[in-house]
């Protein structure tokens, strides 16, 4: 009887162990390509080091490895005739991590770009080469002759979207100096006012540096853009207003004696098929500085994906600029994909950069095709290196501010490295009623132009401002994390003439405040004034009130919403996944910025917090963040205290 009992226990234990192991695994997928030819590498061996898990890439270079134990692993790729490649990958339980490889040949035998096979060319019979076609080649050639430095070339191969990364360098890149927000005493300054920011360029740019083994420049790290890169599980708004407001308070992980206040705004999500018709103008920089693999070729691959999402009611025109500006494609229905793709594929870089002339022409084309009940937008794609015509930031900003009155919105997509003008592109987007994204690879292009197409193309509210009023009886002092270049004067909140940020369909905005409670604060004695606290504030359990104003896209008067926030005495571990993950991203940014307010934050803590707060990571963005934090930890280890 005892033997049978022990046998049953053993079998149960083995089954339980097997079950537990099965639930503590994830998946690794990816693609392997030749860095020189951009073609897939078939038959490469992909191995999870330290395990017996291995597979081969298929004819398209893709691979998938299942049942990978959760945690950090080194993935190795071996193939004949190329160097061995390795990459650190973090696997989350029940999730899929992605790792792409670009293999370098042991000898230089890559064919010139022009000789690579093109598998996605428009068939000759569909190319618009007759006078009866929508896009007249003779007319196009005449128009395009306005800029002789740029020429038309054969279409790029379909695999051009998988582009080789080169070692990054700050070089001639420009970033505005960030003076980090300090602490404000509530009795002296109970109001904190700022414009929303849905830009996410900083995160992709930081990723570019870390992925290639460098710490980013301190001023390239805009913490609010790191936080707002990610989707959060905020409820879709109900009723007339296009926003929902989410708030949460818990201990700050880098300083448990302080509280962290999480404020989230969720814009109404709209299915792509329900978007209003779009009048788009692609404004493409084809100057000589764009003649690099991660600039114009990546740009063209990115726009191809966007074109594939367009409908018949959408329209696209293409303006290019180099030494001067020219119209390459008249406004064309989105259903005429062959014509649009043909015009994109034939672009080639060369010449100087007349950015001002290009912007003026793009606005003129957008205004000529204006849709009164539609989405009118210019999508500017560039490295930001304007050096002919309007060149100073002041001149460019005044031009953009003047043009935005037309009702045409502006999206800015940044490409490339070495001479990236981040500061200039951010200013243009901010003042052009638009947003700024940085495209470091084709996966980011897919995120911005496909997955987030509604947010990228349709503005649901403009001039969105937040104002936080802190209760001095409960909060002694506070600091806003990030948003340094979005701060407003308190009186600007009620002034509808003051420009602020825009929010697209489905966009979310997250802001974090670190606060010191009043029972911990020390107030200086005032000689001439009595900074008293109202009795109702003393009796209230509210920490603060969040107010925000917004205008509908065509409105001139704002609407006001407000919500009070209370402290529920949550420990950090009790907070939601969104709260904890956003806190981990904030820590990540503060460490990279070497912030004096980072407290006891470490990259190891960032990885631990984010790993436990991944939640529903449908696209793997949070898992990728964990991998970046691990890379940052390795890069920071030898230089702690030297930055």
Domain positions in the chain? 23-103, 136-164+275-457, 186-197+208-270+460-639
The alpha carbon of 136 is separated from its chain's Cα centroid by a whole number of angstroms, namely 37
Spatial neighbors of 633 by CB under 8 A, at least 6 apart, are: 602, 603, 604, 607
Q: Please, what CATH class does the domain formed by 23-103 belong to?
A: mainly beta
- Crossing angle of helices 422-431/201-211, nearest 10°? 160
Are 462 and 558 contacting, i.e. CB atoms less than 8 angstroms apart?
no
How far is 568 from 508, CA to CA, in rounded Å? 24
How far is 347 from 449, CA to CA, in rounded Å? 20
Domain pair 23-103 / 136-164+275-457, same fold = no
Residue 305's SS3 state is helix
* pLDDT computed for residue 391 by the predictor: 52
Residues of the chain with pLDDT below 70 are: 1-23, 36-38, 106-171, 323-324, 351-355, 386-393, 519-532, 535-539, 638-643
* pLDDT computed for residue 525 by the predictor: 57
User: H helices of 122-229, where?
Assistant: 137-144, 201-211, 223-227
Which fold is adopted by the domain 136-164+275-457?
Answer: Rossmann fold (3.40.50)
- One DSSP character per residue, 233-284 reads -PPPP-SSSSEEEEEEEEEETTEEEEEEEEEEEEEPP--GGGSPPEEEEEEE
* pLDDT computed for residue 77 by the predictor: 93
Question: What stretch of H or E contains 16?
Answer: helix 2-23
How far is 547 from 197, CA to CA, in rounded Å? 16
How far is 274 from 460, CA to CA, in rounded Å? 13
CA dihedral sign of residues 13, 15, 18, 22: negative
* pLDDT computed for residue 212 by the predictor: 85
How far is 414 from 338, CA to CA, in rounded Å? 26
Give the position of tokens 């994390």. Answer: 481
* pLDDT computed for residue 89 by the predictor: 83
Pair of tokens at residue 636: 């920071």
**Of the candidates 113, 103, 100, which has an alpha carbon nearest to the alpha carbon of residue 78?**
103
**Of the candidates 579, 631, 633, which has an alpha carbon nearest to the alpha carbon of residue 605?**
633
Give the position of tokens 């049942």. Answer: 67
Are 487 and 193 contacting, i.e. CB atoms less than 8 angstroms apart?
yes
* pLDDT computed for residue 130 by the predictor: 33
């Amino acid at each position: 009887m005892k033997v049978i009992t022990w046998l049953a226990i053993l079998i149960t234990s083995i089954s339980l162990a097997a079950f537990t192991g099965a639930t503590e695994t994830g998946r690794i997928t990816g693609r392997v390509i030749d860095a020189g030819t951009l073609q897939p590498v078939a038959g490469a061996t992909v191995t999870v080091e330290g395990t017996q898990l291995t597979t081969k890439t298929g004819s398209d270079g893709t691979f998938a490895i299942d049942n990978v134990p959760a945690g950090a692993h080194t993935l190795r790729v071996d193939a004949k005739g190329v160097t061995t490649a390795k990459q650190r990958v973090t696997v989350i339980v029940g999730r899929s991590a992605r790792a792409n490889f670009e293999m370098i040949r042991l000898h230089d035998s890559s064919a010139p770009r022009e000789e690579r096979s093109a598998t996605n060319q428009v068939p000759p019979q569909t190319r618009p080469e007759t006078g009866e076609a929508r896009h007249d080649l003779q007319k196009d050639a005449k128009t395009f002759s306005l800029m002789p430095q740029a020429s038309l070339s054969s279409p790029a191969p379909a695999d051009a979207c998988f582009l080789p990364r080169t070692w990054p360098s700050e070089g001639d890149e420009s970033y505005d100096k960030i003076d980090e927000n300090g602490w404000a005493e509530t009795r002296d300054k109970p109001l904190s006012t700022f414009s929303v920011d849905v830009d996410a360029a900083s995160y992709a740019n930081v990723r570019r540096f870390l992925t290639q083994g460098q710490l980013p420049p301190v001023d390239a790290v805009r913490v609010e853009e790191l936080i707002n890169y990610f989707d959060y599980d905020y409820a879709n708004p109900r009723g007339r207003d296009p926003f929902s407001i989410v708030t949460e308070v818990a201990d700050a992980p880098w300083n448990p004696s302080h509280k962290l206040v999480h404020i989230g705004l969720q814009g109404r999500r709209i299915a792509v098929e329900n978007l209003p018709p779009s009048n788009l103008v692609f404004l493409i920089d084809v100057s000589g500085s764009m003649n690099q693999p991660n600039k114009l070729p990546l740009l063209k691959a990115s726009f191809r994906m966007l074109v594939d999402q367009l409908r018949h009611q959408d329209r696209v025109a293409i303006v290019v600029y180099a030494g001067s500006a020219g119209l390459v494609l008249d406004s064309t229905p989105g259903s005429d994909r062959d014509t649009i793709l043909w015009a994109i594929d034939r672009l080639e870089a060369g010449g100087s950069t007349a950015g001002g002339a290009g912007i003026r022409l793009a606005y003129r084309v957008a205004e000529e095709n204006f849709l009164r009940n539609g989405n009118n937008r210019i999508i500017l794609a560039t490295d930001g290196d304007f050096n002919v015509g309007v060149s100073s930031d002041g001149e460019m900003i005044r031009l953009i501010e003047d043009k935005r009155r037309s009702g045409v919105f502006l999206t800015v997509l940044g490409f490339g490295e070495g001479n990236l003008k981040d500061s200039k592109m951010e200013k243009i987007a901010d003042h052009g009623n638009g947003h700024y994204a940085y495209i470091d690879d084709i996966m980011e292009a897919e995120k911005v132009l496909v997955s987030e197409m509604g947010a990228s193309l349709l503005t649901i509210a403009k001039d969105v401002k937040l104002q936080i009023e802190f209760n001095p009886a409960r909060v002694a002092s506070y600091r806003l994390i990030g948003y340094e270049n979005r701060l407003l004067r308190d009186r600007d909140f009620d002034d509808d003439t003051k420009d602020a940020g825009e929010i697209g369909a489905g966009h979310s905005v997250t802001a974090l405040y670190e606060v010191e409670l009043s029972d911990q604060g020390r107030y200086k004695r005032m000689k001439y004034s009595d900074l008293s606290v109202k009795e109702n504030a003393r009796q209230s359990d509210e920490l603060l009130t969040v107010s925000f104003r917004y205008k509908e896209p065509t409105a001139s008067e704002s609407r006001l919403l407000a919500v009070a926030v209370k402290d529920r005495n949550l420990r950090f571990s009790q907070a939601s996944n969104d709260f904890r993950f956003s806190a981990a991203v904030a820590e990540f940014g503060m460490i990279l910025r070497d912030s004096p307010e980072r407290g006891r934050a470490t990259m190891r803590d960032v990885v631990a917090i984010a790993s436990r707060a991944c939640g529903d990571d449908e696209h793997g963005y949070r898992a990728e963040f964990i991998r970046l934090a691990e890379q940052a930890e390795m890069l920071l280890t030898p230089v702690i205290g030297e930055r």
